[in-house]
Amino acid sequence: MNNKAEIFCTFDLNASCTSCINHNKIFCKPDTNKVVVSHLLEFSYLTMAVFGVMVTSWILQFWLPTIFFIIFIPIFFIVFQARITCSHCPYYAESRRILHCTENHFTPKLWRYHPEPITRWEQIGTILCFTFLGAYPLFVELYGILTLWKISPTVIALLGALGIFLGTILTLTIFYLTFFMLYCPHCINFSCVFNKVPQKYVDEYLRRNPIIQQAWKNHTKKKT
């Protein structure tokens, strides 16, 4: 996407990482283990959520909620999130057509790399998108439980629907809490609204990557 990415320390195999204060503090190098964990968390939640919405559609005999959610998922990860969040991450600058990072790995890169910080409107969009991703299945499943209570209030059916609902909540909670507590405090997409990397590590990474640092300075000048 951007040949200049090759000089970023993230992609520099000869970078002096051991002498850097960011070493083992931020996720500035690809890590297969972190990729596997992030995808397991995403897959677990999305599988449970889609299954729950499908069960609700079967209860209602109305499949539009399921169709909508199945279409929304790839649009969210490949289009919305990729543009307003991921395209600002240094990992997005790599020349390969597929994103290789610790979170949204294997996503096709449809956009150009944006080294400048994420805007306030993009941050708001990120919050809204992640809120919808988590809330939509829960509201649909809850409506399915209430409908089932009215049309067929058998204990087994209600316990089954409630179990799916609780399973969706559990996988969503594990997914989001793990990211917010273990990934976001180390992610190099520093301007993301969920990013919690200490400023001294941000400053050091920008110092080692002047192209990104200059883009941040230019962005600050435009705002003032």
Residue spans of the domains in the chain: they are 31-218
Q: CA–CA separation, 28 vs 22, rounded Å?
A: 8
Can you give the pLDDT at residue 94?
85
Can you give the pLDDT at residue 84?
93
Can you give the pLDDT at residue 174?
95
Residue 25 phi, psi dihedral angles, 5° rounding: -105, -35
Can you give the pLDDT at residue 1?
44
| Contact (Cβ atoms closer than 8 angstroms) between residue 179 and residue 103 | yes
- Consecutive sets of 10 residues in the chain, 224 residues long: mean pLDDT of each? 61 80 87 87 95 94 95 93 92 86 83 92 95 96 89 79 94 94 92 94 91 86 62
Can you give the pLDDT at residue 223?
62
Q: CA–CA separation, 165 vs 53, rounded Å?
A: 9
- Give pTM, 2 decimals: 0.86
Measured N-to-C along each axis, helices 155-178 and 120-151 cross at an angle, to the nearest 10 degrees, of 170
Can you give the pLDDT at residue 220?
74
Can you give the pLDDT at residue 7?
63
CA 155 and chain centroid, separation: 37
